[in-house]
C-alpha cells in the first residue's frame, strides 16, 4: 500500500501497487478447480468455491492467470468471509 485517496465515486480507498504478473495464458476451469480443491475448497458452481471460513466468487479463466512459473494467480476474484 502506498497511501490513501478517493476513487471516481468519491469513496475513500487505499492505493495499492500490484507487481506485474508475467502470464503464459489464462488458467483453465479444470486447473482452477483442482487448485481450489487442493486448498480444501468445495466447488459450489463453475466459478464459486467455499470452505468453512470463506466464499470465493468469479474464479474464472479470465480472472485467474497461469504464470510463467506455472503458478496460478487470482487477479480479480471476490472473497467473502462466511
Q: Cell for 74?
A: 487470482
Domains identified in the chain, total number: 1
Please tell me the predicted confidence (pLDDT) of residue 80.
Answer: 93
Please tell me the predicted confidence (pLDDT) of residue 3.
Answer: 86
Structural domain includes residue 16: no
Structural domain includes residue 5: no
Please tell me the predicted confidence (pLDDT) of residue 44.
Answer: 94
Please tell me the predicted confidence (pLDDT) of residue 52.
Answer: 96
Structural domain includes residue 39: yes
Structural domain includes residue 56: yes
Q: What pTM does this model have?
A: 0.76
Closest CA to 32 of 69, 61, 7: 61
Please tell me the predicted confidence (pLDDT) of residue 35.
Answer: 97
Please tell me the predicted confidence (pLDDT) of residue 79.
Answer: 92
Structural domain includes residue 6: no
Segments in the chain below pLDDT 50: none
Structural domain includes residue 62: yes
Q: Where are the beta strands (DSSP E) in the chain?
A: 3-6, 12-15, 23-26, 42-45, 48-50, 54-57, 64-67, 72-74, 78-81
Amino acid at each position: 500500500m502506498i497511501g490513501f485517496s478517493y476513487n471516481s465515486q468519491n469513496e475513500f480507498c487505499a492505493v495499492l501497487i500490484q507487481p506485474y504478473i508475467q502470464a503464459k495464458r489464462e488458467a483453465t476451469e479444470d486447473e482452477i478447480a483442482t487448485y481450489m480443491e487442493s486448498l480444501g475448497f468445495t466447488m459450489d458452481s463453475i466459478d464459486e468455491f467455499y470452505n468453512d471460513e470463506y466464499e470465493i466468487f468469479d474464479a474464472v479463466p479470465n480472472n485467474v492467470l497461469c504464470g510463467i512459473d506455472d503458478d496460478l494467480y487470482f487477479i480479480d476474484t471476490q472473497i467473502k468471509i462466511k
